[in-house]
Amino acid sequence: MEVIELVGTIRERMQTLRCSGKRIGFVPTMGALHEGHLQLLRASAQENDVTVCSIFVNPTQFNNPDDYKLYPRTMEQDIALLESVGCDILFAPHAEEVYVQQPLLQFSFGPLETVMEGEHRPGHFNGVATIVGKLFHFVQPHRAYFGQKDLQQVAIVKQLVQTLSFDVELVRYPTIREADGLAMSSRNKRLDPEQRQIAPVLHHALQLAKEQLGQKPVYSIKATVEAYLAGTGQVELEYFEVADPDTLQPLQEVGPQQEVALCIAAFVGSVRLIDNILVNLNEG
């Protein structure tokens, strides 16, 4: 596997590959790789001639400086995992390469960034859009792969691609979970053993809400989830929403054949975790 750190080098390498007719698949990450990332990389390796993974802990999308400092960095292990799934190129730039100067451009995504992650993490999606836009320019992929766990982020990137006319196909894959239901996440590495035992309650809460969809009003479902998590005594709920799966706007009512997204964010100790499931009430 080729490891590239310089923006100029990755640009030249990608231009050469594109000119030779190679199809390029791209998986952008912040490292601390897990099976969810590997699923995306395997898919890219199957569907493209060349697979590129980026590892860059992006400072502009952290609204909490401590969260940025504590984000797990495991480059040696990550390189071994990338090689095991047939990744061709790792792009691992330093911050001064990516941000030659402090970015002044501000993105606005309208209602999409005023709810859930956007509401609770001001400036987060502006940072996401900035780095994804830069990476798309650097790597020039034909396809880019994202996981469903970051559902709102995928929606933001989709809007970015449409608005700025990036010539890239977005591919979204379902969330990969541990055996106990916990959504795989790089942040899971920060959980201590006791917190790790508690963390699957986020998924349990989503399943509880799913069972009540179509049977109880939304306000009652939200109250049930809040009470369930409060009963653990170890989880601080930030939000739980029943939302439209396309716009991610909160729903006050759910129709009998409606598709919905159940989205949650909570703190287990000092570690903030998110999760979601998509539900089609017309199925089953």
- Which phi-psi region, left, alpha or beta, contains residue 58 (left: φ > 0; alpha: ψ -120 to 50)? beta
pLDDT at residue 272 above 70? Answer: yes
At 64, is the pLDDT very low, low, confident or very high (cuts 50, 70, 90)?
A: confident
pLDDT at residue 284 above 70? Answer: no
113-149 pLDDT tens trace: 999 999 999 999 999 999 999 999 999 999 999 999 9
pLDDT at position 268, please? 98
Q: How far apart are CA 17 and CA 22, in angstroms?
A: 5
pLDDT at position 193, please? 97
Cα dihedral sign, 60-264-69-56: negative
Q: Could you tell me the domains of the chain? A: 2-173 (3.40.50.620), 186-278 (3.30.1300.10)
80 known ligand binder? no
184 known ligand binder? yes
30 known ligand binder? yes
34 known ligand binder? yes
233-270 pLDDT tens trace: 999 999 999 999 999 999 999 988 789 999 999 999 99
Question: Are 28 and 54 spatial neighbours (Cβ–Cβ below 8 Å)?
Answer: yes
pLDDT at residue 12 above 60? Answer: yes
149 known ligand binder? yes
148 known ligand binder? yes
165 known ligand binder? no
184-227 pLDDT tens trace: 999 999 999 999 999 999 999 999 999 999 899 999 999 999 99
pLDDT at position 255, please? 83
Residues of the chain with pLDDT > 90: what percent? 94
Q: Is 203 a catalytic residue?
A: no
If you average pLDDT over residues 109-115, what whole number do you get? 95
pLDDT at position 176, please? 97
| Sequence-separated (6 or more) residues with CB below 8 Å from residue 284 | none
pLDDT at residue 107 above 80? Answer: yes
Structure tokens at 244: 């439209």
133 known ligand binder? no
What does the DSSP 8-state code read for residue 186?
G
| Sequence-separated (6 or more) residues with CB below 8 Å from residue 163 | none
End-to-end CA distance of the chain: 45
Q: How far apart are CA 212 and CA 221, in angstroms?
A: 7
Q: Is 156 exposed, middle or buried (0-12, 13-18, 19+ CB in 10 A)?
A: buried
241 known ligand binder? no
37 known ligand binder? yes
Pairing relationship of beta strands 2-4 and 89-91 according to DSSP bridges: parallel
pLDDT at position 102, please? 87
If you average pLDDT over residues 153-177, what whole number do you get? 97
pLDDT at position 79, please? 98
If you average pLDDT over residues 41-69, what whole number do you get? 95
Question: Are 235 and 244 spatial neighbours (Cβ–Cβ below 8 Å)?
Answer: no
If you average pLDDT over residues 57-79, what whole number do you get? 94
pLDDT at residue 40 above 60? Answer: yes
pLDDT at residue 283 above 80? Answer: no
54 known ligand binder? no
If you average pLDDT over residues 163-177, what whole number do you get? 97
Mean pLDDT of all residues belonging to the chain:
96
Q: How far apart are CA 16 and CA 196, in angstroms?
A: 45
